[in-house]
Amino acid sequence: QVQLVESGGGLVQDGASLRLSCAMAGGVFSWYVMGWFRQAPGKEREFVAGITRSGDTSYYGDSVKGRFTISRDNAKNTVYLQMNSLKPEDTAVYYCAADQEVVVHRAARDYRYWGQGTQVTVSS
């Protein structure tokens, strides 16, 4: 059974940086496309970033493009989300997700496995 565990969330000020990590257990990490999503109170779950199985191609939501970077280390079974220039509107619970797909999907319904989420709060 695939398990995903996120870490690295916290409370930061406007303009700060954070790096989230998501470690996979119970699966062959390099077989999985990985994604990061976020969900703020009262809002739908939003695609943040996704990365192909090899890590050679990444995709971003419009609201984070140019500020966030997704990467993966297949030797460590871990995907990362480097978040720079954080804004209060980035405040949300951040989830990592995995699926055995060839392409990166932007819809949450296309991912089979999910982590428990980590809270990111950006104060103004």
| Identity of residue 32 | Y
- Write 42-46 long-range contacts (CB < 8 A, 24+): 43/92, 45/95, 45/108, 46/92
pLDDT along the chain (124 residues), means of 10: 96 98 97 98 97 97 98 98 98 98 94 98 97
Pull the structure tokens for residue 41.
């109170």
pLDDT of residue 50: 98
pLDDT of residue 101: 87
pLDDT of residue 102: 87
Alpha carbon 16 to its chain centroid, in Å, reads: 18
β-pairing, 118-123 vs 92-99, is: antiparallel
Pull the structure tokens for residue 6.
């996120």
